Amino acid sequence: MTGLTNGDAGSVNKVPTVKFTKLFINGDFVDSVSGKTFETIDPRTGDVIARISEGDKEDIDIAVKAARQAFDSGPWPRLPGAERAKLLMKWAQLIDESAEELAALDAIDAGKLYHMCKNVEVPSAANTMRYYAGAADKIHGEVLKMSREFHAYTLLEPVGVVGHIIPWNFPTTMFYLKVSPSLAAGCTMVLKPAEQTPLSALFSAHLAKLAGIPDGVLNVVTGFGPTAGVALSSHMDVDSVSFTGSTKTGREIMQAAANSNLKQVSLELGGKSPLIIFDDADIDKAAELALIGILYNKGEVCVASSRVFVQEGIYNEFEKKLVEKAKSWVVGDPFDPKVQQGPQCDKKQFEKVLSYIEQGKREGATLLTGGKTVGNKGYFIEPTIFSNIKEDMLIVQDEIFGPVMALKKFKTIEEAIKSANNTKYGLAAGIVTKNLDTANTVSRSIRAGTIWINCYFAFGDDVPFGGYKMSGFGKDHGLEALHKYLQMTALSNSGSGHDNSFLKKPTIKFTKLFINGNFVDSISGRTFDTIDPRTEEVIARVSEGDKEDIDIAVKAARKAFDSGPWPRLPGSERAKIMMKWADLIDQNIEELAALDTIDAGKLYYVNKVGEIPAATNALRYYAGAADKIHGDVLKMNGEFHAYTLLEPVGVVGHIIPWNAPSLSFFIKVSPSLAAGCTMVLKPAEQTTLSALFYAHLAKLAGIPDGVLNVVPGFGPTAGAAISSHMDIDAVSFTGSIEVGREVMQAAARSNLKPVSLELGGKSPLIIFDDADIDKAAELALLGILTNKGEICVASSRVFVQEGIYDELEKKLVKKAKSWVVGDPFDPKSQQGPQANRNQLEKILSYIEHGKREGATLLTGGNTVGNKGFYIEPTIFSNVKEDMLIARDEIFGPVLALMKFKTIEEAIKSANNTKYGLAAGIVTKNLDTANTMSRSIRAGIIWVNCYLTTGSDVPFGGYKMSGFGRDLGLEALHKYLQVKSVVTPIHNSPWL
């Protein structure tokens, strides 16, 4: 019978001496700036263990400054991986040697079973450290054979300063789960442990110091979420945040990241995990798994099997055995080796669990056993099981995080799948059956990140762990966890006449919304003008979609994903349809090129021979990858077999910009289609025409209804509706920082969907004394004037070494003055009009600002002609780095020219920006090229070339240029999520 025990406490029978209670910053234990402390409580007794320094914003600032210095100028990210590995291995050894003390600290601080911590959790933490130590010298990019006369490779670089916010349920495990891969990657960090359980984190910081981790690399700041946690997640100098905890706090962290420097976020937000037990199961084993699944760690586990579904043929016998086992479960002092369950972590959690038990009774569920507290002190609760539950009850919907199980009967496999997926969470699930077909069908059908078959809690360092839906995004464990602390730089280096047959305005065929395979009017009936930037005349009136239309489009996409053929087709069949679509685009290329010319002012011949062929190449590239989406088979440590499945993320929202309508459309749509997703796409309101034409061609190609939906409209209405929609599973956005911030905030406020952002840049082109001056001037001009400077990677900051500066300036100005600005249909024109009046006026205002700030206008600065949105190529010299024209993304044909002396000066100036999208280097010296390319914090580096992209070369930014990659296989994988499936192996001779 359940009861409180006070037996032998084993090797530790008293509260351990608490040695570390101060903040750990820059290698030292220090008091908080405020001098404030807070109590940490023993949940066995409710007594105070110690008073802990209370860090807040000022302390976080100091810790981040230490971490930034350690990253920017310290040894850790610069050490060879093998050297980092040695120090991590030494730290792991110290963990093993300190297992008893760490276990005792977690027992008194979190109420965890001492013997479980000592024998399992602490050794597992040491093994996690060893796993990532072993990976530290295996961080490699790829060499890419591009389809043109260029050579490319990728570098994997540490993301920078990481903020870790960890929960109270597994203090030691979570500490090392976060710290180990980020250290292996070469990052520095600030970690905030839960205020309920700070002791083992501070002890672990002490071990890091003993192991030789350099000062500033690891900082541990104890404190509260609303102060220290908020400061960390909103800090402008933290590059990435990883959080494990509640959905509510995860939402706040994502919003804080969006409000600040748009740092990337990884969230693991708990679950309401189902365990499904079929008629053919071994009833004793199934009851044991069910009880372990909910009572391990007193139910304070994000993957607790809190919803147990049992097939009707064995339900009655199973229920009887389950209740018997629960009643014999031993609750008591966690130092007692006979005890199976200790106290809840703190009084607040204790009272929360009890309130849910009372709620279950009020809602009419049958209490089979438990429901009461145990003993007269401490936070102990009996194992509690409810039956006769309904799926809309709070005890079935909410994550209780305690020893409370909801038990339900089912008949068919279809009913079990539906019930299992009837939750906003998707972290884990268990299946108990002897039937292979049942196991395979259910494991593929449940929308959760980890599936255990005939086992539960079978974790491994090599098995990725993370959630679907509102259980968060990003993976812990496995090499996936290492890669989330790395960012990719792509590097490229170098190695006809015009058809004038289409010179008049094309017929506009498609102006309505494209939803569920049909062109339809908007619900409101409203339309808006799309304007020809050559003449300022109205081309057409386009249906204006808003929230109601987005809702209809999302409903169509959801139905197409949940029950339509597209995600269920073999990849090879999806590929055939995508290839047909690409062929249709080729057949209509002149009309499509003309649409982008009249809608966006783009050069017709460049559209026809460059951008639209590049778009179809992207479509074919991802079509070729659609049947190559494979998971991994993992040989776990122990008697388990695991594999991963890569599954489409679901319904995707794409919001694309106006500067490259065709290319942006297919950069977003192609990989998400190949992955098996369905989608709603909002083109920029300035440039809707080609997107609607592509939707028409998709229909002709055989893309099923509902898979692709195109809704023109405005950002504050249609765009906001996409990014905040509760039934969209991911959003991909390209555009401005301001709008990107709003998109991320909306995703955080709604269903915490993952977001991919490409937010532009202020890209440097660095030209050294040994450069070919004519070629360098040509690259500089091409970099800023391509597409009238309306390009996110425009070389708007050109730094020239002093030895060739004067000559290059002269040639650059001469070339700029001969640059032909005119009608984009004219094959002699090199530059068309800006896309719209707002952009024209914005550029002119920056030119005036440059003059006022004292920059020298070498050429340009005026409009061209009496109508349309044409601007002369504009070059400023004598530019200072704090001028707006040197700091802001102008998105027009305006170049800031600056002189430098040394390579160190060039690196410093290139990195002196909040952006990090691209950079160019012009030099004949290999050492210079290598040093510069490794030193500039940008997502793509061009060496002796510029604007060289390819479908196989990943593209995306560092810093406030966003996160996530377009192009390359990385783009395909951002529309896939990883499901880990684990099953036991019995008596294999090969283990």
Q: Which residues are catalytic?
A: 758, 792
Could you give the angle at which helices 99-110 and 199-211 cross, rounded to 10 degrees? Answer: 160
Nearest C-alpha neighbor of 666 from the set 712, 727, 614: 614
For the record, the structure tokens of 972 come out as 């395909």
In 3D, which of 514, 508, 509, 547 has the Cα closest to residue 531?
A: 508
Q: Shortest CA distance to 67 belongs to which of 183, 226, 197?
A: 183
Quickly count: other Cβ atoms within 10 Å of residue 455's Cβ: 17
C-alpha 93: how far from chain center? 33
Cα distances from 87 to residues 131, 132, 418, 559, 710, in angstroms, run 13, 12, 48, 52, 53
| Residues near 257 by beta carbon (within 8 Å), at least 6 away in sequence | 233, 234, 241, 263, 264, 265, 744
Give the whole-angstrom CA distance, residue 770 versus residue 814. 21
Strands 894-900 and 678-682: unpaired
Distance CA 312, CA 365 (A): 18
Helices first, then strands: H and E counts in the chain = 32, 42
Beta bridge partners of 881: none
List the alpha helices (DSSP H) in 328-368. Answer: 347-362
* Residues ≥6 apart with Cβ < 8 Å to 525: none
The pair of structure tokens assigned to 818 is 């001969």
Interatomic CA distance for residues 941 and 764, integer angstroms: 10
Report the alpha-carbon distance of residue 978 to residue 462 in Å, rounded: 13
Amino acid letter for position 940:
I
Whose CA is closest to 179, among 122, 145, 217? 217
Contacts of 844 (CB under 8 A, 6+ apart): 863, 871
CA distances from 300 to 341, 352, 775 (A): 11, 12, 64
- Give long-range contacts, CB 8 A cutoff, 24+ apart: 112-116: 112/170, 112/297, 112/334, 112/342, 113/297, 113/334, 113/339, 113/340, 113/341, 113/342, 114/9, 114/10, 114/12, 114/334, 114/335, 114/337, 115/10, 115/337
Q: Which helix (H) or strand (E) holds 826?
A: none
Beta strand 366-369 pairing with 384-387: antiparallel
Closest residue by Cα to residue 367 from 327, 398, 332, 328: 327
* DSSP-derived secondary structure letter, 367: E
Q: What single-letter amino acid sits at 377?
A: K
User: CA quadruple 411, 414, 417, 420: dihedral positive or negative?
Assistant: negative
Of the candidates 299, 329, 491, 580, the one whose C-alpha atom is nearest the C-alpha of residue 939 is 491
DSSP state of 336: S
Tell me 703's DSSP state: P
Which H helix or E strand runs over 553? helix 547-563
Q: Residues 86-110, buried b or exposed e (16+ Cβ, 10 A)?
A: bbbbbbbebbeebbbbbbbbbbbbb
